[in-house]
Amino acid sequence: MPDQVLSTSAEDRDWWRGAVIYQIYPRSYQDSTGNGTGNLKGITHKLPYVASLGVDAIWISPIFKSPMRDFGYDVSDYKDIDPLFGSVEDFKELVARAHELGLKVMIDQVISHSSSDHPWFAASRASRDNEKSDWYVWADAKPDGTPPNNWLSVFGGSAWQWDSRRKQYYLHNFLVSQPDLNLHHAAVQDALLDTVRFWLDLGVDGFRLDTINFYFHNRDLTDNPALDPDQRNDSIAPDVNPYNFQDHLHDKNQPENLQFLKRFRKLLDEYPGAAAVGEVGDAQRGLELVADYTSGGDKVHMCYSFDLLSATPPSAGYLNNVIGNFETTVTDGWVCWAFSNHDVQRHASRWAQDFGSTPKHLKLLAGILLSLRGSACIYQGEELGLAEAELRFEDLQDPYGIEFWPDFKGRDGCRTPMVWNAGRENPGFSDSRPWLPVPDAHRAQAVDVQDQDLDSLLNHYRQFIAFRKQHPPLVKGTIELDWQNDAVFCFRRREGDDIIVCAFNLSKEPRIFDVPEESLQTLAGGGFCRTAEGRTIKIPPLDAYFGKVQQHRQFA
């Protein structure tokens, strides 16, 4: 594999628009110390592999100092690296090496909540009248001693925890050990933005903003209304969790967030080229929030919702509906699409019941993800076709899965270590027992095996990302969904007079259909090479066609 792939231009401040971002879960990428847990030096060692994919950036899940009750999403020091992963000097070396290879570096910024071990929380809970007493969300009990309202935690149960020191409840939208910061307080905003500046000064190119729509709560602590059972959606929480029973109107999604995001963007704009992608966690109004948070060029650069991270299989009709709704709703904003990440079942398993998880199907899905208008996130191991790991209860680490086992098995199954060398112990991830077991089934999909196979899924990702970069409409162009087929997901990508027709046959039968264009030039090089005769396209099952429009009609 090539040692160096220059992915982006340092002068392109809009590098993020249409970028392919590779997500690294640091605990599970590469262990360089032999303790069974991945670390920063391990990531640095593997950066040439990442660059060989042709991606533009890496996103590293949390590496800040933390008690690790939620594996880094519970921060106890926003300006330090957890010793489990290394040091600030190790991080500087990682950034320098990434930049040598043409890779941007984005890090997870978790600012809706901290760890209960954070000094800020220790001060806040000490009394009701100290300097940081209102840095977190505190409220008195109801007269009968019950919590202030009916808000629920994403991880199950009430979102309120009683604290005997203050004799009040504090809000936690996630674990009890993850108290919510009170961003209604200007000093909290200032302190958080100061931590953002710290990492920008160290050379990071951007941030993935965890739970971006959870930053503010309703000051009046109004009860959430019940949600009609027909509207319940398990994309945010599993269906065994009562969190889905509420319409979360008051515990998140508050209008005050827009002003804070403007402050955040103003800071980023001091660092040319710095960008942010926000995670919008809402099952009912995700696209509307993406539109609000990315519009106007004065808030975050892009967001992603959970529409394509859900269990709903990506049929032609479903994809047309999701993308069509986005194009209608998010008029001047930008989206970052993903099929898998560290919080959801891997899509090789999630959609296997309907399509199977064969390499052919996974190649087709990669083509779809990397052809949509927007940026794209690839989760480590996705390029290898890794399926969700089936773990024993005694191997679980995730408190979410332990709480709801066996009906919901948590997030450990998508977080197992990368497989580098099929013939090595723990397939090359570590010389010691890994923090999560490596499934035997993953061994045959190791990087060294797929490197040697030109027809492998790994090499398909490399080919298609290169193909994408060769055709500007696929990176930053517009998308048009004005004609469709019942089994084939079809659209045009357009930049100026350059138009590419993209068609994906998601059915198990060959499809022949006509497009409005008068003449198409078949484009090869992306791993798909299906032919067209005039305006007639022929696509085998689970395959795709890409063609450049030679002559085209003008559509109203």
Distance CA 352, CA 512 (A): 25
CA distances from residue 415 to 311, 345, 366, 426, 437 in whole angstroms, order as listed? 18, 9, 20, 14, 10
- Helix, strand, coil share of the chain (percent; to 5): 30, 20, 50
Contacts of 509 (CB under 8 A, 6+ apart): 487, 541
Residue labelled with tokens 């500087």: 92
Collapsing DSSP states into helix, strand and coil, what is residue 112? coil
Distance CA 446, CA 422 (A): 5
Distance of CA 283 to the CA centre of its chain: 15
- Residue 483's nearest CA partner among 532, 543, 546, 555 is 555
How, if at all, do strands 488-495 and 478-480 pair? antiparallel
Spatial strand order in the sheet of 532-533: 511-514, 536-539, 532-533
- Residue 34's nearest CA partner among 339, 430, 407 is 430
8 Å CB contact between 83 and 72:
no
**Active-site annotation holder among 144, 201, 270, 394:** 270
Angle between helices 316-329 and 286-294 (to 10 degrees): 40
Is 270 catalytic? The answer is yes
Say how many C-beta atoms besides its own lie within 10 A of residue 274's C-beta.
22
**Active-site annotation holder among 180, 210, 412, 543:** 210
Complete DSSP assignment for 7-26: -S-TT-TTTTTT-EEEEE-G
Distance CA 281, CA 304 (A): 9
Is 93 catalytic? The answer is no
Residue 512: Cβ-neighbour burial (10 angstroms; 0-12, 13-18, 19+): exposed
Distance of CA 542 to the CA centre of its chain: 25
Distance CA 512, CA 500 (A): 18
**Phi, psi dihedrals of residue 338, rounded to the nearest 5°:** -150, 145
The residues assigned a catalytic role are: 210, 270
